[in-house]
Structure 1
């Protein structure tokens, strides 16, 4: 079998669903600076495309991702030696995924380590195979993790679990990941991509104004930064939308709705 050609993350679009695939299988899908830039560009394209209503994030090969390239991580710390603080470019990339307006399904096809664990936590639904494992080695490497990643760990997994993973560098298997909430469902390996597609196309068929508005509100609530006025505007927009009229009509007529996002 011909070896998979490594590249920056690959974007493909099928109807209303976009798929981003990490694509360095020989390096366990390690995320290099070019990959960070490409993933941000993919997010920018997806965020501005009203026809895309759901996103799948997955990896090529037997690993999801080994996280950031440690060599370039060191270089980023040395890049601005006179600066009081540095900006972690990996954190910028993960924030771009979290801030996508569309729901994101993470299909964990294999091991997930380091910064890739935060990339998965930035997604809205995480599916994993029975063989998946996660590990956060920051403390063993002398790395102080960036604030956005620590916030996601605490808000998604809870304070005590975040301490276990950051301070004690515990390795979790699939069942433990399910118990902590790191993954939402364990799926047989040969069914993982189909399960991710099913979830993506299901949410893509729902009302995008309501879905995207509620995703934004939930993320803001998790960070305790909800703006009540902005929330009220989104709620009112949905109440006055064509989508809610279509949704009610479809419910009464017992047919699938046809939402247009307006």
Structure 2
């Protein structure tokens, strides 16, 4: 059964090669609720099956990017179960985002808090403004973060930065986010949309098999999940592709290539 989003639930809009996921709960700092998680997983499934989509932008309305997942929902899960271990439902959503085949861009116009820091980190590019800031309040709230999130922060930003963010829980500004590698770049607020779209345009102009194959290899290496045999299969597919022939022809003819993903 197809999920029907409510008026304040995250939306998905696809325009030719670009998909946009928008968080639409600005009055609650774009906090994610349990019903949003199934919807976001559904969006990830839809996008993974749409080869014509070559770039995905995640953005939000209002002052903040997002306050992350409502921690009270996690407490409710813990209180309703006597099991020795528990699954955090938010973790599955972030893993699905990171494993999307298409490259992803996080448009970070404002505050990035709690679980939304991991949502942004799971994206391939994170573009901020001088107003962008972040903090991870897990320890201040008594929450031990889920393992893949801690692993992502540690592998992407380094052990010392991960400790500072998770143990100290201090708010850091855009420049610090750039310095530690959380932000890909900072642009003026009025230039944010143009820069995000320029990156998306650059991505969709590249050969999809090469872009998606490289993204998967890089992420797999960062997770210590790299499978050389699977990569060699993808490499052979790219070497035999029509896109490679088109790319070589366009290069020699000094014209833009027109890739089809085949």
Q: Which residue of 2 aligns with 1:34?
A: 35
SS in 1 for 2:151: helix
Question: Per-residue deviation at 1:6?
Answer: 5.3
Question: Per-residue deviation at 1:171?
Answer: 1.2
SS in 1 for 2:31: coil
The separation in 2 between residues aligned to 1:94 and 1:136, in whole angstroms, is 16
Q: Which residue of 1 aligns with 2:16?
A: 15
Q: Which residue of 2 aligns with 1:210?
A: 210
User: Segments of 4+ in structure 1 off by > 6 A?
Assistant: none
Question: Per-residue deviation at 1:187?
Answer: 1.2
For the 8 Å contact 1:6–1:24, the answer to whether it is kept is: no
Offset from partner CA, 1:174-222 (integer Å, 9 cap, x none): 0000000000110111221221111112101110001001101000110
What is the root-mean-square deviation of aligned Cα atoms in Å? 1.1
TM-score, normalisation: structure 1: 0.96
Q: Which residue of 2 aligns with 1:48?
A: 49
The separation in 2 between residues aligned to 1:6 and 1:193, in whole angstroms, is 23
Stretches of structure 2 lacking an aligned partner (at least 5 in a row): 1-5
The separation in 2 between residues aligned to 1:205 and 1:33, in whole angstroms, is 36
The separation in 1 between residues aligned to 2:46 and 2:103, in whole angstroms, is 15
For the 8 Å contact 1:16–1:201, the answer to whether it is kept is: no
Question: Per-residue deviation at 1:78?
Answer: 2.3
SS in 1 for 2:225: coil
1:109 aligns with 2:127: no
1:25 aligns with 2:26: yes
TM-score, normalisation: structure 2: 0.96
Offset from partner CA, 1:95-153 (integer Å, 9 cap, x none): 11001000000000110100000000000000001011100001001100001100110
Q: Which residue of 1 aligns with 2:173?
A: 173
Quickly say closer, same or farther: Cα 1:147–1:246, change in 2 above 3 A.
same
The separation in 1 between residues aligned to 2:201 and 2:48, in whole angstroms, is 17
The separation in 2 between residues aligned to 1:76 and 1:194, in whole angstroms, is 41
SS in 1 for 2:255: coil
Q: How many residues align structurally?
A: 257
Question: Per-residue deviation at 1:229?
Answer: 0.5
